[in-house]
Chain A
Amino acid sequence: MNSNQVDPVNIQAGSTADNGQYLTFSLGDEEYGVDILKVQEIKGFVPTTRIPNSPHEVRGVLNLRGTIVPIVDLRRKFNLEPVEYDQFTCIVVVVVQERVMGMIVDSVSEVMNIPSADIQPPPDFGNGLVGNMLRGMARTGDKLIILLDIDAVLLGDSAGMAMAA
């Protein structure tokens, strides 16, 4: 599963010439990107079933063709202001460490080729957890895209689901 993951060390050294494909989406004022190979599907927002006593960011579970899929609201995860869900709100279904999960984003933008040379390592946030969830920053034209390490976002130490592992 991890074979497609770009080695962060190599990104920093700028030695991989490979183009990575990323699905980008918007959340608040920023554009984010996740490795396209982790993405299973994108679907419009549908109401979820709440799970009692679950972390704040876990909105609930969804029936995805017979599979029960937990849904994480990325706005809640990143402590952004809550917004009304609208017709652009999407659930990006990803597969991380063989688990199917969904994340709610404001809207999905596009699939982008980003050469690894254009990716900069994340700035040093000190020992904060933010840095662990980022894979890097990519500059395309005048836009800055924040590339997420989706494994760390959904299953990392700070994630509500980490207990399950």
Chain B
Amino acid sequence: MNLDMTIFHQAFFEEAADLLAELETQLLRLEEAPNDSELLNTIFRCAHSIKGGSATFGFTDIAHFTHGLETLLDRLRNGQAHVSSELTQLLLESLDQLKSLLAVARGEAASAPNSDPLIARIDAAIADSEGQKPTIASPPVEQVVPDEVQRYVFRFVPNRDVLRQGSDPILMLRNLFEMVDEINVRCDTSNIPALTNFDPEACYVSWEVEFTSQHPMSELLEPFEFVSDDCEVSLTAVAGYWQGDAAQQVACEVASVAQAVVTDVAAAAIVTSPAPEPTVTAAAKMETHTLRVSTDKIDKLINLVGELVINQSMLNEVVQHFEISSLPRLLEAVAAMERASRELQERVMAVRMLPIKHAFGRFPRLVRDLAATCHKKIDLKTTGEETELDKSVIEMIADPLTHLVRNSIDHGLETPEERVACGKPEVGVVSLNAFHEGGNIVVEVSDDGRGLDKDRIYRKAVDRGLISESDPMPPDDVLHNYIFHPGFSTAAKVTDLSGRGVGMDIVKQAVQGLGGAISLSSTPGQGSRFRIRLPLTMAILEGLSLRVGDEVYILPLTSIIESIRPKQGDVRVVAGQTEVALVRGDVLPILRLYQFFGVEPIVSEPTRGLLVIVENDGRKIALLVDELIGQSQVVIKSLESNYRKVDGIAGATILGDGRVALIIDVPGLYRNVMPAQAIMTAAA
């Protein structure tokens, strides 16, 4: 049988990535609660599952590496070893190593750092834990010195449903038999019923096996680990074949010599082991192309589809025997259909939504590592982790967020001494917040550090020729925006983390690429706050359809403030060319959409059309349109995939009648219109 294993590989990679993320979270928690046995068990289970999966799919180096790790974790949870900061560091490094090994297995990285130094360190830690063994009050029975041959009686009564659950008792026994000698098996077949009552998928037999083995009990029981909950599995040691004391002593000596060698190797390895930093970032960047969806969401979908089918048959029935008297029923059925399909659409979109904790998940580790390298004390606070965002947005926002967090830690937070001198608590706080606001998701990265140095930004802006020296100090928000200029860094010294001046502009680009916006507020001495506003989803948009000439355009609802029909005196012409509208004291530049889009106008008089007032980045403009048609949700289709980027157009969508309508790109309008208009507004 030639199975294509690659399809299973993908599943394994995803599962392993999930497990590693879980492992990372738990390890970081372990640092805070070193004695939490539940935590240790969870960590052990993660490592065990990775080992099992990698062995099954033939990634032997991963399995081999994880095996050592698993042994160490096993010692930890049995209380034979104790959690220390070195040990957590070792575990975290092992985690990084696993990530790079997985990247290699996925074919994303050419090679991983050699695992041997880490394996040696893990072995050393295991050996250490053996040295600690005497301190344990009552060593459990299974802690037999490995080289000792022991006689056992093993009883295995599988659950009747064991085969249905996908386990194979024979395979388990075979695994066991590989580790043992002098096997004597008795199979109990007395429970097999008469053929009439026989269920071919049930397991009716049980086994009793006597054997000798030099493996410890825990290892012998390993093949049965997954069924031990619902099957009867018992292993008892019986008297016989004890080896002499002398032999035991030799074994111990061998062990201690081995340990000494291992420690030496480990010491050498620590010096030579390369920094795993680059591989970590590579691994973190991986993008998954499949989606795990909670069954809850799927069940709701299935219910809805069922409803839709019922609606449809209702509709059929009404239409087939249609008389004018049944019109109300028809309308009702159509309305029900509409409700169901709209809800279905919402739910299908929800399938793509993931909680933002997927993006936040990497930060505890990042902050921990950065705190160590910067010698700062940092507390990371996250709120709103359950806020849901489109999967692609989450994937793409992770890197900009990382940059902002690094920036806050490196530039924002002071050293503990400086903080104490300023009268602040020694531990700096970096917070990540996510929440809904209007039709958007807002993600905030803030710190309680020193805040932006306005003088330095001003000087830098003058240096770079962005403003001239004679200009007065611009207002805060203008000044703050300079840090998003390419190549703009005010860090006094370039550090490992940031300060090279690349980054903030890339962050801004990335956020804008997602259809979002970034802004910044900062108070000297109290910290700064970056605020990223993102659309809920990139695939669907709540829009207002409007008519310009004889063409229909869609305007995203989120950018619309209001729409008005101006009175005669409300429209003025400034300097004989630029039109402005007076709206409740505000002077807003007017953009005639028909002019911008080159449409043959039907309404060219503002007082006979409508002004739709839109806002972007806090600036408002009034768009002149012929009329508003209505509000609807539209599916965004790309113009670029087959055509190209068009100025002022964000994309296209398909209307109810099958025709294409273009979606207006409001920030794009500003880019194209504002340079000329801004001068005018300043003059006004």
Contact = CB atoms under 8 A, between A and B. Distances in A.
B203 interface: no
A39 interface: no
B47 interface: no
Contacts of B658: 63
A61 B660 CA distance: 7
B652 A68 contact: yes
A2 interface: no
B33 interface: no
Contacts of B584: none
Given A68-B660, A99-B642, A161-B643, A52 B637 contact: no
A69 B643 CA distance: 7
Contacts of A99: 641-643
Contacts of B661: 49
B599 A164 contact: no
A68 B659 contact: no
Contacts of B641: 67-68, 99
Interface string B569-598: 000000000000000000000000000111
B598 A101 contact: no
B637 A66 contact: yes
A67 B596 CA distance: 26
Contacts of B418: none
B596 A51 contact: no
A131 to B, nearest CB: 25
B430 interface: no
Contact of B662 (A47, A49, A62, A163): A49
A100 B641 CA distance: 9
A62 B647 CA distance: 19
A33 B648 CA distance: 36
A53 B647 contact: yes
Contacts of A164: 640, 643-645
Interface in A54-70: 54, 58, 60-63, 66-70
Most buried by B among A62, A68, A163: A68
A139 interface: no
A100 to B, nearest CB: 5
A129 to B, nearest CB: 20
A43 interface: no
Nearest to B664: A52
B639 interface: yes
Contact of B660 (A52, A62, A101): A62
B637 A68 contact: yes
A51 B642 contact: no
Contact of B649 (A52, A58, A60, A69): A52
Contacts of A76: none
A68 B639 contact: yes
Interface residues of B, number: 25
B654 interface: yes
A63 B653 CA distance: 9
A53 B660 contact: no
B646 A53 contact: yes
Interface residues of A, number: 24
A52 B644 contact: no
Given A66-B637, A164-B640, A51 B662 contact: yes
A70 B638 CA distance: 11
A91 B648 CA distance: 27
A70 B642 contact: yes
Contact of A63 (B643, B645, B649, B654): B654
B646 A54 contact: yes
Contacts of B646: 51-54
B142 interface: no
Contacts, number: 68
Q: State the main secondary structure of chain B at its contact with A.
A: loop
B598 A52 contact: yes
Interface in B621-660: 637-649, 652, 654, 658-660
Interface in B509-568: 551
B372 to A, nearest CB: 47
Nearest to B672: A53
B642 A47 contact: no
B642 A53 contact: no
B660 A63 contact: yes
A20 B444 CA distance: 61
A51 B652 CA distance: 10
Given A67-B637, A68-B637, A53 B643 contact: no
Nearest to B596: A52
Contact of A47 (B597, B638, B639, B659): B659
A53 B638 CA distance: 17
B648 A52 contact: yes
B637 A53 contact: no
A50 B643 CA distance: 13
A70 B649 CA distance: 14
Given A51-B649, A52-B598, A52-B599, A163 B644 contact: yes
Contacts of B659: 47, 49, 63
B547 to A, nearest CB: 13
B595 to A, nearest CB: 10
A139 to B, nearest CB: 35
Nearest to B643: A70
Nearest to A95: B642
A143 B598 CA distance: 42
A68 B644 contact: no
A51 B654 contact: no
A62 B642 CA distance: 11
Contacts of A48: 660
Contacts of A58: 643
B643 A51 contact: yes
A104 to B, nearest CB: 15
B161 to A, nearest CB: 47
B642 A101 contact: yes
A121 B144 CA distance: 87
A62 B654 CA distance: 9
A51, A52, A58, A60: which has the most chain B beta carbons within 10 Å? A52
Nearest to B658: A63
B436 to A, nearest CB: 30
Nearest to A64: B642
Contacts of B640: 164
Contacts of A52: 596-599, 646-649, 662
A53 B649 CA distance: 10
Contacts of A101: 642
Contact of B652 (A53, A54, A61, A100): A61
In the A-B complex, list the 4 residue pairs whose CB atoms are closest, starting with the nearest: A164-B644, A52-B597, A49-B660, A70-B643
13 contacts: A48-B660, A49-B551, A49-B660, A49-B661, A51-B649, A51-B662, A52-B649, A52-B662, A54-B646, A62-B660, A68-B639, A68-B660, A99-B642
Interface of B: 551, 596-599, 637-649, 652, 654, 658-662
Given A49-B551, A61-B639, A67-B641, 13 more contacts: A49-B661, A52-B646, A53-B598, A61-B643, A61-B660, A63-B654, A66-B637, A67-B637, A68-B638, A99-B643, A100-B642, A163-B644, A164-B643
